[in-house]
Amino acid sequence: MRYIFAFILTLSLTCVVLAQTEQAPITEKALVYKDWTLKNVKGGGETNLRSFAKGKKLVMVVYWAPWCPNWRHDLAFVQSLHDKYAASGLAVIGVGEYDPVDKMKAHIEQYKLTFPMVYESDNQSARLTSNHYMLRTEAGDKRKWGTPWYVLLDPSTLTRSGDVLTEKTTLVNGELIRPDAEKYIREKLGLAASAAAIGTSSKPIENAILPKRLRT
């Protein structure tokens, strides 16, 4: 019995570790990120990113797929950031990928996600042709599916018109490193350092070369 318990404990810990092997630092890349207008997952209509960013201090765009375990690892934290910092100027918007819209809707309901959601693709066959794929691979993301993938936009630095929003893009090629992400967000919002982010070492934002990780 003792051996069975030890095996189960070891297996559980292994699953936890594997679920966190795609964490990546916040980096700035010479990457052209263009404006987009995408259909809303719920409620009909469309959302334009440039318009969405107006009046905000920081915009977090997160690309996700309902079936992705790495996204499920991050989603509660992303929702907590939305809850905590929306009133201070953070705007989170999700871009759904590689699954039917009905499954995206069910996922949003299941996990009680309340930030806005749009979608680019609704089928796994779009993996190699999506704008998400082209952007993230140009940014050095070697994962197969590449979700979650984050773009962090400072509206005060975006171009005032045209298709191109920025030619230098701050992004995360994987899951968020939570203390680093919250520290970055608070700095951009002009807030004092959070106690939750103090005491955890974090690398400065840099053009980092990503270590090898499990790739999904």
Mean pLDDT over 8-22 rounds to 47
To 5 degrees, how large is the angle CA 89–CA 79–CA 44?
A: 85
The pLDDT of residue 38 is above 70: yes
How far is the C-alpha of 73 from the C-alpha of 16, rounded, in Å?
A: 10
**Res 192: pLDDT:** 84
Whole-prediction pTM? 0.83
| Segment 195-206, tens digit of pLDDT | 555 444 444 344
How far is the C-alpha of 113 from the C-alpha of 92, rounded, in Å?
A: 11
Mean pLDDT over 147-164 rounds to 97
Identity at 199, one-letter amino acid code = G
Identity at 125, one-letter amino acid code = S
Q: Chain-wide mean pLDDT for the chain?
A: 86
Identity at 40, one-letter amino acid code = N
Confidence band (pLDDT; 50, 70, 90) for 193? confident
| Segment 73-129, tens digit of pLDDT | 999 999 999 999 999 999 999 999 999 999 999 999 999 999 999 999 999 999 999
Confidence band (pLDDT; 50, 70, 90) for 43? confident
Rounded (10°) CA dihedral 162, 146, 153, 92: 110
Question: Which CATH architecture describes the domain 23-197?
Answer: 3-Layer(aba) Sandwich (3.40)
> Tokens 């953070």 sit at which residue?
90
